[in-house]
Amino acid sequence: MTPKFELRSIRDFGQIISDSFTFLKDNFKPLFIPLIVICGAFTLLGTVAYSFMQMGMMNMMDIKNQPNPNVFRSGIFNDYFLGMGLYYVAVGLYYFLIFLVTFSYIAVYREKKEQEKPTLEEVWGYVKYYFLRCIGSSFLLILLTIVGFVLCVIPGIYVSTVFALAMPIMIFENTSFSFAFSKCFKLISNNWWMTFGIIFVVSLIIGFAAGIASLPITLITVLKLFLVLKSFTTPLLVFFAFLVNVMYLSYSLLAIALSLCYFSYTERQEGTGLLDRINNLGKDDDASHLPTEQY
């Protein structure tokens, strides 16, 4: 019998990254069912917007072969930027839902008994409950991050790393934005470089995988300059755009890593997991699944 994954444990840099993959492997099917169902509409919307944007780019590159070579009069310029705007709005909401669903899944998982997995209905209940709170908070944090980048790049990088813990705090502790805002600074104390490194490494892994998926689209764009691909361009573009948007679901790995950062920092500062184990002594005869305590 596979023991339940222990969330509330102190972990170092390497353990957080490796345990993120372990949690994803152990919960792949029950996690991706709500991800696909809840985020599915934005997967399709992102596919349409990305295809529209790429076709606009191809038409702009092929403008010399158009009857009207003026990119502004032909409307191609407007089509491209309309597609790009729609795409970034869709992807922004898509990313938000991926993180919200993953954090909600982990919050439900934490309360489950051995061998039990969160269901779609349970995760959906959490998503509905926290949606407005988290999307409003995320908007404010994005504005503050933009201000940080405008003032100077370094403050923007610093606060973006700190704010990465705000959503898990709100969901795991069922707290307000103001409380989460102050606590993320408290948790990040003495852990900023570790958090930044984890975000960088995990994002690099995900970005590499997404880059491979988007490579065919780049090849199609380049080949269209030299070959006639009218009958194949659109279906190929839509297919690979869909593949790219499906790959975005892998950002759930980053959400898992941030969750483990939260639990590790909280355990180190507050020892909530240790206190719970002390209170449960004698109540659970099988404690073999618990990790060795670290001090």
Nearest CA to 257 among 19, 35, 9, 3? 19
Residue 162: CB atoms within 10 Å: 23
Contact between 103 and 172 (Cβ < 8 Å):
yes
What pLDDT score was predicted for residue 162? Answer: 95
Flag whether 283 is in a domain. no
Tell me which range, 49-63, 77-91, 203-217, is most confidently predicted by mean pLDDT: 203-217
Q: Would you say residue 236 has pLDDT above 80?
A: no
Model pLDDT for residues 16-29, shown as the tens digit of each residue: 999 999 999 999 99
Contact between 199 and 161 (Cβ < 8 Å):
yes
Half-sphere exposure of 150 (CA within 13 A, CB side): 6
Flag whether 4 is in a domain. no
* Residue 201 tokens, joined: 């490494």
Structural domain tally of the chain?
A: 1
Flag whether 280 is in a domain. no
Flag whether 175 is in a domain. yes
For residue 295, name the pLDDT band (cuts at 50, 70, 90).
very low
Rounded to 5 degrees, what angle do the CA atoms 255, 178, 39 make? Answer: 30
Q: What are the helix (H) ranges across 112-225?
A: 120-151, 153-163, 166-172, 177-188, 192-223
Flag whether 290 is in a domain. no
**pTM score, two decimals?**
0.84
Half-sphere exposure of 152 (CA within 13 A, CB side): 3
Host domain of residue 114 = 13-275
Flag whether 288 is in a domain. no
What pLDDT score was predicted for residue 131? Answer: 95
Flag whether 23 is in a domain. yes
Model pLDDT for residues 92-141, shown as the tens digit of each residue: 999 999 999 999 999 999 998 877 899 999 999 999 999 999 999 999 99
Residue with tokens 């898990």: 168
Flag whether 287 is in a domain. no
